[in-house]
Amino acid sequence: MNPKFKLHDKVKLPKEIHKDLTGTILSIWIGEDGIQYKIRYFWECKPQEVFFYENELEITKEEK
């Protein structure tokens, strides 16, 4: 499998969470359901770490 993103890429989170929120890829997990990325981001000044699927993320402009 070829992951779409790589470790430490900056990505935009799904618009359902926040329209302009970005995070950093900490890990890549390949499972039966596909590739997931553990993303670290800050929400209301608190760090969060959540897994997202490839189709839920997009690379930020500064990473292109």
Average predicted confidence (pLDDT) for the chain = 91
Dist CA 15 CA 17 (whole Å): 5
Q: From 39, 44, 3, select the one nearest 23 (Cα to Cα).
A: 39
- Residue 64, C-beta contacts closer than 8 angstroms, at least 6 positions apart: none
Report domain extents, the chain.
10-63
Residue 24 binned pLDDT confidence (cut-offs 50, 70, 90): very high
Q: Which tens digits make up the pLDDT trace of 25-51?
A: 999 999 999 999 999 999 999 999 999
Tell me 17's DSSP state.
T
| The pLDDT value given to residue 1 | 76
The mean per-residue pLDDT over the stretch 13-20 comes to 82
